[in-house]
Amino acid sequence: MAGSIPSEHDSEELTFCTETLRKNPHSVNKWITLADKYMQAYTSNPHQFLLPKTHEFLHPLILAFAPDIEGFTLYLVDLRDSFSKSDKAWEQIQVHYRRINGRHVQKMRRERSNRAVVKAEELYGATDYHTRLKWVANLEHKWSQRRLLYLDEQRAAFSSGRIDTEARTELLAVFWEVVDTEIFEGKELPTWS
C-alpha cells in the first residue's frame, strides 16, 4: 500500500491505519464513516478537535486527508480496490467514495463559479446579487451542456459506447481544465445581462 499512497501522505502511521482497515473488512464501513465525520470536525475547528482513544488509529488518516478531499477519494479507490468486487467491504467503500466524491465535485463547482464571478466583475464591473445569481445559474447550465456534448463526442472512442468511471474521471478533468483556463483568460464569460 505504501507505494500507492500519494507521497505527501506516505507515513508508517497511515500505512498502519490502512492495514488495520484492510484486515477488518467487517468494520471498514463504520470506520470510514467515522473518519469522514472526524475529518469534517477537524476541518471546521482543528484546535478543538478531540479523537476518542478507541479511534486513535484513524488519526493519521484524518490529518492526511481532512484538507485534501480529492486525495481522500483517491485513497478510498485504492482501499476499495484492495478488496474483491464481491466483498461487502468493496461495496461499502464505493458508497463512501461516491458520497465524498460528490461533495468534492460540489466544492469544486462552487469554487469555479466564484472564480468566474470574480473574473466577470473584473471584466464588466460589479452587479447586484440577483443578477449575479441568475448569471451563475445560466453559466453553470451552459457548462453542463458543454460537458454532456464533450462526453458524447468522447464516447465514440470507446468500443462499447460506454465510458468507464476512471476514463470518465480523466475526461472530465481535461474538460474542467479547459473551463478553468477560459475563466482565467476571461473567455466564454457572458456579460451580466
User: What rounded mean pLDDT belongs to the chain?
Assistant: 91
Could you tell me the residue ranges of all domains in the chain? 1-125, 127-193
Which of 1-10, 34-43, 141-150 has the weakest average pLDDT?
1-10
Average pLDDT over residues 145-173: 89
Cell of 124: 464588466
- What is the per-residue pLDDT for 28? 95
Residue 42 in this model has a pLDDT that exceeds 80: yes
The answer to pTM > 0.85 is: no
- Distance between CA atoms of residues 145 and 186, nearest Å: 19
Model pLDDT, residue 193: 79
Q: Which residues of 158-189 are buried (b: 16+ CB within 10 A; e: fewer)?
A: eeeeebeeeeeeebbeebbeebeeebeeeeeb
Of the candidates 110, 46, 39, 112, which has an alpha carbon nearest to the alpha carbon of residue 72? Answer: 39
Q: What is the mean pLDDT of residues 116-138?
A: 96
Per-residue confidence (pLDDT) for residue 9, from 0 to 100: 54
The band of 190, judged by pLDDT with boundaries at 50, 70 and 90, is: very high
Q: Report how far Cα 106 is from the mean position of its chain's Cα atoms.
A: 8
Q: Model confidence over 60-70: pLDDT tens digits?
A: 999 999 999 99
Please state, for a pLDDT cut of 70, what percent of the chain lies above it.
95
Is 31 within 8 Å of 65 (Cβ atoms)?
no
**Chain segment 75-124, per-residue pLDDT in tens:** 999 999 999 999 999 999 999 999 999 999 999 999 999 999 999 999 99
